[in-house]
A = this chain, B = another copy of it.
Amino acid sequence: MSETLSSPLSPAAGDGPAAPAPLTLSMQGALNRALGEVLEDNPKALIFGEDVGRLGGVFRITDGLQARFGAERVFDTPLAESGILGMSVGLAMAGFHPIPEVQFDGFAYPAVNQIVSQIGRMNYRSRGALPMPVTLRVPSFGGIRAPELHGESLESLFVHVPGLKVVSPADPHQAYHLLRLAGSMPDPVIFMEPKARYWQKGPVDPADAGALEGARIARPGRHLTLIAWGAMVARCLQVAELAAEDGIEVEVLDLRWLSPIDADGLAESVSRTRRAVVVHEAPRSSGLGAEIAALVTERCFNTLKAPVERVTGFDVPYPSGDLEDEYIPNIDRILFGIQRVLEHRRG
């Protein structure tokens, strides 16, 4: 048996250490595992935020980490988001790799000044002398019937800020590998966790990350590209399943990196399918869907059969639980969007 053909999962293959077997984990479990490994790999990595220590975070993403790594490396801060992010700047200047958590998306707003004016700019301001390896975890997006300001989608704000990188995983495998990657990067990364997917289980292969740069084709298709990230990827996969029953082969593109956006990957897909729909929870106006529509149109203008359709949240505050299914793009609305694109006739 040639070495290149041997299964990477077989402990007998090669003479490196035994590759861990693929696991079934919830996204919460995958993130927790990734954080543990980041802390193991890098003694300078620190986790802190509100209730991340003894409690393990309100979503238990840091569960058990304080017990394992000690209260110096995993610690609770007072209740102040600007404080948490501002402190991250100083810790990074002191050579640490801060991994702060903001408890919910909407509580990143009090920290916007430190994120935009300081974290995003310090490497530039200092001409590279003060790198900001800050991995900011933000439980994000809606869908869990939570109180006000616990269901915000801040990606458009973050993507517009120079000096930040932004990523959002769609499933446990992605979550595990993207967080391990983000946690080792020398630049600030906003890690947007789709909280509605925390408890969904899926396979995680720790040994085989696959490519982690750029977008990812979550399902191939010929007739139309459906572009999404975070929790909307799973919904788009459902939609693709339904559309397939009508013979429409939808390609689902999981964007993953929201900044920088994988413009080449987008263009590659849409140049094949010639039609695109982008789906997000955030309000429509100046949402990331606009950037994607603009990018795709710039690159694929001559091949596009219809304008890029945006199926998004409305330009209204994220509503209370009773109305959130009216607000978040649902299967019907995505199907309507697909239909509009398919039916568009060049004038």
Interface, chain A (partner B; CB < 8 A): 82, 106, 109-110, 112-113, 116-117, 120-121, 124-125, 148-149, 156-157, 159-163, 259-261, 282-283, 285-291, 293-295, 297-298, 301-303, 306-308, 310, 314-317, 344, 346-347
- Cβ–Cβ contact B290 & A286, under 8 A: yes
A98 to chain B, nearest CB (A): 20
- Cβ–Cβ contact A302 & B162, under 8 A: no
Q: Quick one: given A162-B316, A291-B286, A293-B297, are A106 and B112 in contact (CB under 8 Å)?
A: no
A255 to chain B, nearest CB (A): 13
**Considering the complex of A and B, which 6 residue pairs feature the smallest CB-CB distances, nearest first?**
A302-B347, A109-B113, A293-B294, A160-B286, A290-B290, A112-B112
Give the residues in chain B near A310, CB-CB below 8 Å: 294, 298
Q: Quick one: given A307-B298, A344-B301, A346-B302, are A285 and B160 in contact (CB under 8 Å)?
A: yes
Besides A162-B283, A286-B291, A294-B308, 19 other A-B contacts (C-beta < 8 A) = A109-B113, A121-B317, A156-B160, A156-B286, A159-B285, A159-B286, A160-B282, A160-B285, A160-B286, A161-B283, A162-B314, A162-B317, A285-B291, A289-B294, A290-B294, A293-B298, A294-B294, A297-B308, A301-B307
Once the chains are docked, how many angstroms separate the CA of A301 from the CA of B296?
Answer: 13
Closest to A310 in B: B294
Once the chains are docked, how many angstroms separate the CA of A249 from the CA of B18?
Answer: 70
- Of the candidates A117, A287, A290, the one having the most CB atoms from chain B within 10 angstroms of its own CB is A290
Give the residues in chain B near A302, CB-CB below 8 Å: 346-347
Once the chains are docked, how many angstroms separate the CA of A314 from the CA of B157?
Answer: 16
Give the residues in chain B near A347, CB-CB below 8 Å: 302-303
Closest to A109 in B: B113
A260 to chain B, nearest CB (A): 8
Once the chains are docked, how many angstroms separate the CA of A170 from the CA of B346?
Answer: 36
Once the chains are docked, how many angstroms separate the CA of A93 from the CA of B295?
Answer: 43
Once the chains are docked, how many angstroms separate the CA of A113 from the CA of B159?
Answer: 18
Give the residues in chain B near A307, CB-CB below 8 Å: 297-298, 301
Give the residues in chain B near A149, CB-CB below 8 Å: 117
